[in-house]
Every structure is written in structure tokens, then in C-alpha cells.
Structure 1
Amino acid sequence: MTEPISLTGRTMIMSGGSRGIGLAIARRAAADGANITLIAKTDLPDPRLPGTIHTAAAELERAGGTVLTVVGDIRFDDQVERAVEQTVDRFGGIDIVVNNASAIDLSPTDVLPMKKYDLMQDINCRGSFLLAKTCLPALRKSAAAERNPHILTLSPPINLNPLWAGASLGYTIAKYGMSLTTLGLAHELRPDGIAVNSLWPRTTIASAAVRNVLGGGAMIARSRTPDICADAAYAVLTSPSADTTGNFFLDEDVLTGIGITDFEKYRVLPGDSELQADLFLDA
């Protein structure tokens, strides 16, 4: 990657972002003075999950960003359209789309409720497609104004090892649908100068999903903090859109590419304990 481009004055719209990796990415952008729209459902506190869209907005404003909160659900076209319209009205355009919202259920096929299957498809795959699609007019204007537009989706490399589909088919379909959106949009939007990439952590990240779904406190202890994804996302989003598109990045590889090779500061617990590889990555 070449010399980074500051996010000062740039406008980002993100699905989710009330906590975890999304919040960390938004906080890193806010430190540059970016404008940030959060479209998320978490309006009121949930005892199972930390933070709301409002606590996230306050944190981002303290970090230096200007924030618009839109309480909404990316499963519904009109709510996404409203968020995009409000963002353009407030900030004058959109330069960055981050598809962060995601639902997870690792149940095998015979016990996965179809309601959960539909939820994962609607949020992960359809929601990412919808938010990107709705932002395209604004992103094309950003490209014409040479404002370095990017779409970044939190989804994995497409790994056809049957282990992953065989272990949790519903979730795998939903996440790979997000990645196919990256693959297709990168090709489709290359002539427009709009970068489209995916980012995935090499290790598990200390998040509500890891704590509540993947393995609890023991897994958290073998994880890294969301900051590693935030720093990698920042490196991608500040790279020239004409040169950085169509990639399925791993956070470690992005940081290594800009000269960062010491990842100790990202460990939840310091030491030499083995970190847990994330889903969809072969050992």
C-alpha cells in the first residue's frame, strides 16, 4: 500500500457499530475527524450486550468524530434508504461504507431454525448488498470528486474446504454471501474508481460473539482485541481506491504490509499462550 490518505472530513456510514470491531473501526476513523453515521438496532441497553448506538456515538464524538445516529434495521429497504438520505443531507455525501453488522448461529443444519437462517441471510448477505447498493450514487459522486471511496465488508476469504460448510452451513452461506458481494462489486465498480474489499481477523477477537457463542471467557483469553481490526481497516480505507480493490484481507497481513510485525499489544492477555485461529481459516 502507498502513502495513506487521511480520513479527515470524509464521511463513513456503518451498519452496526455499537460495540466490538465495528465500534473500534469507527473510533479509529473518528480520531482523524471523520463524519460517521451509525445505523444500528441497539437503541436501549441489553443486559446481554455492552453498549448502545447512543453510547457508541458519545465515544466517537469524544474521539474527535462528528456522528449521526440512525436507529434502524438493515433488513428493511426503507430504513436503509432513510439512513443514506439523512447522511447525505447532514454531511453532503458518502465516501466510505462499512458492512459490519452480522448475525451468527453455528448450529448444524438439522437443528438450525429457519427463522435464524433467514435472519443471518437478511442481515449478513442481503443487508451488506442493500447498504452498498443504496450508497452507490453517493460513492460515484465521491469518486468523481477524487475523495477515495471505499466499501469494506467484515467477511472472510471464501474457503471451499468442506469443513466450514459442513460444520455450520447456514452461517457459512451467510458469510460467504457477504464475501461474494465483495467479489462481484469489486469487479463491477472498478471502472468507477470505488474500492471494494473484505477484512477478516486471523485470530478470534474479544467480542460479544466470541464470549456468547464461540467459547466464553476461555476463548476470550486466546483472542486479540478489536484494535487490530481497526488498525487494519484504517490502513485499507486510507489506501488509494484505484489500487486497493478486490481483496480478501486478513488483519495481520494488512499490518505486516505497512511495516507492523509486533502484534503483542493486541493480545487480550500478554504472554505466549496459543491464539485461537478464526473461523474459515485453515491452520
Structure 2
Amino acid sequence: MNDCQDPDCRCHRFRDKVAIVTGAASGIGRACALAFAAEGARLAICDVNMEGLEGTQGSIEETGAECLVMKVDVREQEQVESFIQAILDRFGTIDILVNNAGTGQFVPFAFVENEEYDRVMDINTRGTFFFCRAVLPTMMDNDYGKIVNITSIMSVVAGQGQSIYNASKGAAKMLTQGIAVDVSGYNINVNAVGPGMVLTGLTQNMLGDPEQAEWFIERIPMRRIGQPEDIAASVLFLSSDEASYIHGTTLFVDGGMISTRG
């Protein structure tokens, strides 16, 4: 546990705050959860991958932070609502929501099956909708809250074979903006983080090929692949009171990749 006694230290930025992180079994979700724990938050994490989730839980508890864990399929409204109720039963409130659970799609549009469309849209967009709607009554009652949705640079840049992924992340981006407008006046900040090419479970096979990795690096002005911790740092900033005047915005964390696309 962090035993720093300075109340103004950044390590206390989220002291006693309750933060939800979805898709926390690995990658960006795990990095976000561990970063929140290091800065004093109490965590509620979920995923469909219980083995990975329990690994995240163990790392969180090593810091001394409290952690509630539940297997949740974000596509299922009842599971989402049960998770939210479990959080309220244990912690009594919800301060921060990070909608990170997501999936990819690499199929040319002409060959996309209905099931693939539903899967990608349900996880990337419907799940975000369910979680945002579920936490808002508590945040509105508290007149306080932070919501950060993980989108992608692919919410504004089309990619070959990724039409449904593009659509799902574009929808999540606009959902973020729409919710931000609707909750104005409740002291709730709603924003998104749009990662570029980041080394996660979704990209590791592709980036494991040195030629493909180099192809991406050549198109990133910062000349490196992003790490989950790069995204987590931006998520924590938007979840903090330091970002209290940022609202309805997508912060692209991509090493400058979008800048090269005109």
C-alpha cells in the first residue's frame, strides 16, 4: 500500500474514489485498473476472461487497494446491472467509469456475416451504452462523476477490412458526445480516449511480425508502438478533477498517427 503522508501528492489523486474498469483482464483495461489502484482508488473490474481478471485483481490487491471482481459480458444488460448493484452494495457509490471492453474485426465488408456485425457492435457500442446508462442515476444523484469511453483513431479514420469496427467506434465516439450534452448541469464529465496502434491482445499477433510492426512504426511520427500505460495515463487524467473543464471530447493518444492522415 502507498504510505505517502502528503495529502497533496498525486498518489492520492483518486483516494477513496470508486472506479469501474471494464475489460480489465489484460491490456489497456489492466493498465488502467493498476494505475487507479496506485493512486488510491477502490476498484470494481469486470471481463469475460476470469483467469486474466483474477490476475489483475491480484496485482491490485498487492497495492493494498480494495477490488471487486465479477465476470460480466457487456452485451448482457442484466449482467451489467447486477454488477452495478454489487458495486453499490459494497462501496455505496460510483465515481468513475472506464468503458474499455472491446473487440476487433478484420473482414472485408462484402464478406461480413450478420453474426460478426452483431458481435462487434454489441461489444463496442451496446456495452458502452448499457454501462453509461447504469451508472448515471448514481452520478446524477451525487452531482459528480467521470466517464471515459475507450474508442479508437478508427472512429475517425477508415481502415481496410475494418468497416464494422469503424462503425462501432464511431458510434461510441458520438454516444460520448451525446451523453455529455445530456448530462450537462450534473457536474459529470464524459469524454473518450482514442488509442492509436497499441500493443494489446488484439494487436499482438499483427505486431509480432517484425515487418508489419515496422510498417506501422514508419507511419507513427513518434516512431514507436503505444503501450497500454500510455493510454492509462490519459484515462486517469480525464478521470481526475484536473480535467474538470474537458467535456464531450475525444483525446487521441496515437503518437501523432492521425496527423499524418490529413
Q: C-alpha distance in 2, partners of 1:14/1:247?
A: 19
Classify the secondary structure of the residue corresponding to 1:102: coil
Q: Mean alpha-carbon deviation: is it higher for 235-244 or for 184-193?
A: 235-244
Tell me which of 204, 208, 211 is aligned to 1:211.
Answer: 204
Tell me by how many angstroms 1:239 deviates.
2.9
Cα RMSD of the aligned pairs, angstroms, is: 2.5
Residue 217 to residue 81, structure 1, CA distance change in 2 (3 Å): same
Residue 6 to residue 152, structure 1, CA distance change in 2 (3 Å): same
Aligned to 1:27: 34
Q: C-alpha distance in 1, partners of 2:92/2:60?
A: 20
Classify the secondary structure of the residue corresponding to 1:65: coil
Aligned to 1:136: 136
Classify the secondary structure of the residue corresponding to 2:172: helix
Tell me which of 27, 30, 37 is aligned to 2:44.
Answer: 37
Aligned length: 243
Structure 1: 5+ residue stretches without partners: 45-51, 253-274
Q: C-alpha distance in 2, partners of 1:157/1:194?
A: 24
Q: C-alpha distance in 1, partners of 2:186/2:261?
A: 34
**Deviations along 1:100-148, whole A, 9 cap, x unmatched?**
00011121111222212101111110100110001111111332xxxx5
Aligned to 1:259: none
Under a length normalisation based on structure 1, what TM-score does the superposition of the two structures give? 0.78
Classify the secondary structure of the residue corresponding to 1:106: coil
Tell me which of 227, 230, 233 is aligned to 1:231.
Answer: 233
Tell me by how many angstroms 1:178 deviates.
0.9
Structure 2: 5+ residue stretches without partners: 1-8, 218-224
Whether 2:69 is the aligned partner of 1:90: answer no
Aligned to 1:257: none
Tell me by how many angstroms 1:217 deviates.
3.9
The residue correspondences of 1:107-126 to structure 2 (distance < 5 A) are 107-126=107-126
Kept in 1: contact 2:46–2:71 (CA 8 A): yes
Kept in 2: contact 1:150–1:241 (CA 8 A): no
Kept in 1: contact 2:28–2:229 (CA 8 A): yes
The residue identity in structure 2 corresponding to 1:19 is S
Residue 83 to residue 184, structure 1, CA distance change in 2 (3 Å): same
Kept in 2: contact 1:7–1:34 (CA 8 A): yes
